[in-house]
Amino acid sequence: MTGEIDAAKFHPVRMGLEPLALEDWLKPQVGDQALLPLRARLAAEKRDDVLGLMPEGAAAVAELAAFLHQRGFGALGAGSGLAALAAIAGAVAEDLCILTPHDGQYRLTAGVLCFPNRWRLREKMGANLLAVHGPVPDYADKLAEGVDRFLARLRPLRAYIRDNWGLASVPDLHLPDPVPPVNPAADETFYVRGEAQAFLKLPGSGAVIFSIRTTITPWAEITAARKAGIAAVVKELSRPWLDYKSLTRPENP
């Protein structure tokens, strides 16, 4: 994902999933070498914000570390616990939320979240998906059942991907706190915050890895067609969605 978001296809109550080849999941991209030192530093300096682990997630973390080691992501094979998560943070450009099955539901029991978009990992640890998505408009009524069904039916080592996007008033990748809302009609000094979100189920633990690759692109660098698409979507968003995405509806999109 390059920040050139296909906003015309975005709908806030559709998952929009597409199959992703296993070899393309977490595939290194141009620019990753500039991100990895930042991620390692965040994991070291903001450990309580960036890393999360509950006892229920330990087996999945060990399995993930071994899997990434097999795929060439550094010396992760023997790692476990928070040390493994810290190593993963500095080896992989994506954030990874680890969801483990409990009594028919998936809960967030481990993760690496270096580049959050106005939330903190520790605030959602142990929560099921309905609670994790509590602030998301329409999730409970229109999305929760479909998401639960998708995760239950997801076959091991089959990956799926979707695009998500937002507009941000600052270019910060590490953005745990709210920032001033964006009004696309007022000025153009803001950024498209893109998220390539993927799902992969591990074969041993049955954990689902939710990966997030974040990109930041200045609005001025987005094509005219993409700008028009984003403006059209913003125009149609309900007030709860505008508030959730920290947007002000443009009067002249």
- Contact predicate 60/100, CB 8 Å: yes
Query: Regarding predicted confidence, which is higher, 81 or 229?
Result: 81
- Contact predicate 216/222, CB 8 Å: no
Res. 1: pLDDT tops 50: no
Vertex 190 angle, CA 36 and 14, to 5° = 80
pLDDT > 90: what percent of the chain? 67
Pairing of strands 159-168, 95-102: unpaired
Query: Regarding predicted confidence, which is higher, 232 or 56?
Result: 56
- Contact predicate 212/195, CB 8 Å: yes
Backbone angles phi, psi at 155, to 5 degrees: -85, 145
Q: What is the mean pLDDT of the chain?
A: 89
Res. 6: pLDDT tops 90: no
Sign of torsion, CA 54 44 133 143?
negative
Residues 6+ apart with CB under 8 A from 106: 99, 100, 128, 129, 148, 151, 208
Nearest to 176 by CA among 57, 50, 83: 50
Give the start-to-end residue ranges of the domains of the chain.
Answer: 7-244
pLDDT tens for 173-199 read: 999 999 999 987 777 889 999 999 999
Residue 13 is predicted with a pLDDT of 55
Res. 60: pLDDT tops 90: yes
Backbone angles phi, psi at 131, to 5 degrees: -70, -40
Res. 2: pLDDT tops 90: no
Half-sphere exposure of 249 (CA within 13 A, CB side): 12
Vertex 128 angle, CA 158 and 140, to 5° = 95
Nearest to 130 by CA among 144, 147, 120: 144
Vertex 46 angle, CA 85 and 102, to 5° = 45
Residue 8 is predicted with a pLDDT of 45
Vertex 28 angle, CA 24 and 32, to 5° = 150
Burial 176-188 (b: 16+ CB within 10 A, else e): beeeeebbbeeee
Q: 252 pLDDT band (50/70/90 cuts)? A: very low
Residue 14 is predicted with a pLDDT of 65
Residue 108 is predicted with a pLDDT of 98
